[in-house]
Structure 1
Amino acid sequence: MMKKAFFLVAGLTAMLASCTSNNAEKKAKDTTGMIALDTTFSPTNPAPENSSSCYLYVNKKDTASIKLQLKGEELTGTLHYNIFQKDQNHGTIAGEMKGDTIIADYTFDSEGLRSVRQVVFLKKEGKLYEGYGEMKEQNGKFTFVNRARLKFDDHFTFNPVDCK
């Protein structure tokens, strides 16, 4: 009787440990403390196909535009900001599309200087919402301190437009 109880408890403990291990893997964090993105494609989330798309942000005297070329998960394009009473900046973006999220580096010229900063956009209902949050400079590039804490609201909403 004692042996049966021992094997039953040992079996249940092993099953519980296995479940806990899987949950820990799903919530894995990289060395920067950010939650790792799940890049697994399933029938409900198929791999994106090659495509081009354009988006425009307009708010009173401010405008911004994005033109994207998507090849699988790889993304390239142009991004231009024209914010009232600020220097215009325009440049290129290169990164990847992970599910509904674009993570890219924006290399741009402004005030006679070339700069690089990370940009993140959330695609929702056909629109792109630019994420914002605390940034840090490291090796000449500005990156988000914690992408998991980015805010995606109506601050910068890009609407789809025909590419010209």
Structure 2
Amino acid sequence: MITVSCKMESKSEIDRSGEDVNSTILEKAPSTELSIGCYGYNDNGNLVVMDITEIEDSIKANLDISYNEKDANHGTFSGKLKGNKLIGTYTFISEGVVSERKMAFLHKDGQLIEGFGELNETGTDYINIDNIQYTSKMPLSKMDCKN
């Protein structure tokens, strides 16, 4: 009986310390999942803000792009999350003209990194999404939305 009692106490002590460690880890671990809210980059006169408004069957967002010494684009992004890759269409207005272009982002370490790949002849779709290179030097990081 004494042996059984000791084992139970020992097991109980391990369980308690395991619970404490797990709750500490859960409280301190940052979320790496794509979530509703703003992701942005602001440096050297370049400002990119993606405000994700819906994550369901498709991802919907407002997307504003203003590169240094270029015309700003304001529009919407609609796409799908395939694993950790967000592939979609950016519909925007630039100089009073409505345009569309395909865009891809890699969701990694809580950031969105834009990817670049070869488009079809009409420029409406990627030839092969597996060949997209996620090489942007302007990663979008989670940030507070400013209205």
Same fold (TM > 0.5): yes
2:115 to 120, 127, 131: 131
Counterpart selection for 2:97 from 109, 113, 126 = 113
- Paired with 1:142 and 1:87, the residues of 2 have a C-alpha distance of 21
Tell me what 1:104 maps to. 88
Q: RMSD over aligned Cα, in angstroms?
A: 2.0
Which residue type is aligned with residue 103 of structure 2? V
Q: Helix, strand or coil: the match of 2:125?
A: strand
- CA distance, structure 1, for counterparts of residue 54 and residue 82 of structure 2: 11
Question: What letter matches 1:81 in structure 2?
Answer: I
Q: Which amino acid aligns with 2:55?
A: K
Q: Percent identity?
A: 32
Q: Give 3-state SS (helix, strand or coil) of 1:135's partner.
A: coil
Residue 130 of structure 2 aligns to a residue whose secondary structure is helix
Regions of 4+ moved over 4 Å: none
Gaps of 5+ in 2: 1-32
Q: What's the counterpart of residue 128 of structure 2?
A: 146
Alignment match of 1:160 (pick from 112, 137, 142): 142
Asked whether the equivalents of residues 56 and 158 of structure 1 are also in contact (C-alpha less than 8 Å), the reply is yes
Deviations along 1:82-120, one digit per CA (max 9) or x if unpaired, are 111111101001121222111111000112211111111
In the alignment, is residue 71 of structure 1 matched against residue 55 of structure 2?
A: yes
Which runs of 5 or more residues in structure 1 are unaligned?
1-47
Cα distance in 2 for partners of 1:110, 1:56 equals 20
Instruction: Assess if the C-alpha contact under 8 Å between 1:73 and 1:98 holds in 2.
Output: no
TM-score when normalising by structure 2: 0.69
Aligned residues: 114
Are the equivalent residues in 1 in contact too, given 2:116–2:135 (CA < 8 A)?
no
Q: Partners of 1:158 and 1:83 in 2: how far apart?
A: 14
